[in-house]
Chain A
């Protein structure tokens, strides 16, 4: 079936460290891929997305590249800040006009000064 697997957290980093959160997926067809962020006490916000293979999504210093050959969409940031502390969710949306999102389990990131 269709699913998303992302690395378990929590991930604890010092400010200005490099961040990678791994995400792999299983899906039929050609899904679109997303990263959402959930700050404490808030709803999910779209962070970035990619709709086809080799696309790179980027926003707020975060990047992720749609790798069809490895079915991956790893999230990276070169220098994290304390304000990046949140829960990050990888998700896919199936092709064919469906709007439903399938989420990974979420990865909590804690950045310390």
Chain B
């Protein structure tokens, strides 16, 4: 149980285009999901907290107009990277909170490459 999927697993896009990444909780409902960014050989950096039915809460330094988050249902959150640039190339990981311990279950990540 507690499986989280992400789609796509890899995406390559041209500079200036927008890319949408989906995060789904497959066998549970999650009112809270998180989006992280992982740089090569670096830690996970929390970008934002996604709450179902309300606006996302962004961490300091993360542009909310560039990284649009929509948590429209209890099983789906989306991250849209708008007007992507090469510096947005990274590994994006989502997690969903479940259980009495508020444990985070992580998706497998999405590798974004912006040319």
Residues of B in contact (CB 8 Å), total 19
Nearest CB of chain B from residue A103's CB, rounded to whole Å: 4
CB nearest neighbor in A for B36: A103
CB nearest neighbor in A for B102: A99
The answer to whether residues A45 and B106 also contact, given A99-B32, A100-B49, A103-B44 and a CB cut-off of 8 A, is yes
- The A26-44 residues at the B interface (CB cut-off 8 A) are 36, 41-44
Residues of A in contact (CB 8 Å), total 16
Query: Are B43's CB and A104's CB within 8 A?
Result: yes
A17: interface (CB < 8 Å)? no
B76: interface (CB < 8 Å)? no
Query: Are A105's CB and B46's CB within 8 A?
Result: no
Measured in the bound complex, the distance between the Cα atoms of B93 and A44 in whole Å is 9
Residues of B within 8 A of A73 (CB): none
User: 1/0 contact trace for A40-65 toward B, CB 8 Å?
Assistant: 01111110000000000000000000
Residues of B within 8 A of A45 (CB): 106
Query: Are B103's CB and A46's CB within 8 A?
Result: yes
Query: Are A43's CB and B106's CB within 8 A?
Result: yes
Measured in the bound complex, the distance between the Cα atoms of B70 and A76 in whole Å is 40
Query: Are A105's CB and B42's CB within 8 A?
Result: yes
CB nearest neighbor in A for B4: A43
B79: interface (CB < 8 Å)? no
Query: Are A99's CB and B104's CB within 8 A?
Result: yes
- The B58-110 residues at the A interface (CB cut-off 8 A) are 93, 95, 97, 102-104, 106-109
CB nearest neighbor in A for B45: A103
The answer to whether residues A106 and B43 also contact, given A43-B4, A43-B93, A100-B34 and a CB cut-off of 8 A, is yes
User: 1/0 contact trace for A99-113 toward B, CB 8 Å?
Assistant: 111111110000000
CB nearest neighbor in A for B57: A100
A-B contact pairs, 12 of them (CB 8 A): A36-B106, A43-B107, A43-B108, A89-B44, A99-B32, A99-B34, A100-B34, A100-B49, A101-B44, A105-B43, A106-B41, A106-B42
Please give the residue numbers on chain B whose beta carbons come within 8 Å of chain A beta carbons, in ascending order. Answer: 4, 32, 34, 41-44, 46, 49, 93, 95, 97, 102-104, 106-109
